[in-house]
Amino acid sequence: MNSCIVAFCCEHSAYPAADLAGKLKLHCPESLRIIRVPCAGRVDVIHILKAFENGAVAVLVLGCEDGACHHITGNTRAKERVKYCNMLLKEIEADGRHVAMFNLSPNEPHKFVRAVNEITKRIKESGR
């Protein structure tokens, strides 16, 4: 198991927010790996599970704020899939693997950093 955090970032919100975090020289853990997607709604359950199969210790799915998805329903669907994923992981007592969804706007780099820190905290607390 490596210590990577895989973050699927929607190009309308989280990806620019992550860029802005860089511009403002905010700090993120080096284990973060960002994968750009056109909409959080593109992220499927298998992408999340494969991230874990390949050793990721946590997966983040980041999309637009509620009611502000550029593609209307993408962020809602992503949330449902993340919930489903958590259920699938619980079924197999997935040993502290975390997947979570966060919503933010493209001009909220602090929220991006907070999301990453939040998941890092959850990992530490579960003893990995």
What is the binding site for another protein (CB under 8 A)?
2, 4, 6, 11, 15-16, 18-23, 25-28, 30, 33-39, 41-47, 49-56, 70-74, 77, 81, 88-89, 91-95, 97
Sheet holding 5-10, edge to edge: 32-37, 5-10, 58-63, 98-103
Q: How far is the CB of 32 from another protein (least distance, A)?
A: 8
Q: How far is the CB of 125 from another protein (least distance, A)?
A: 20
Residues in the chain: 128
Q: Indicate the residue type of 105.
A: S
Nearer residue to another protein within complex by CB, 25 or 124? 25
List helix spans (H) across 1-128: 14-23, 45-53, 74-91, 109-125
Q: How far is the CB of 8 from another protein (least distance, A)?
A: 8
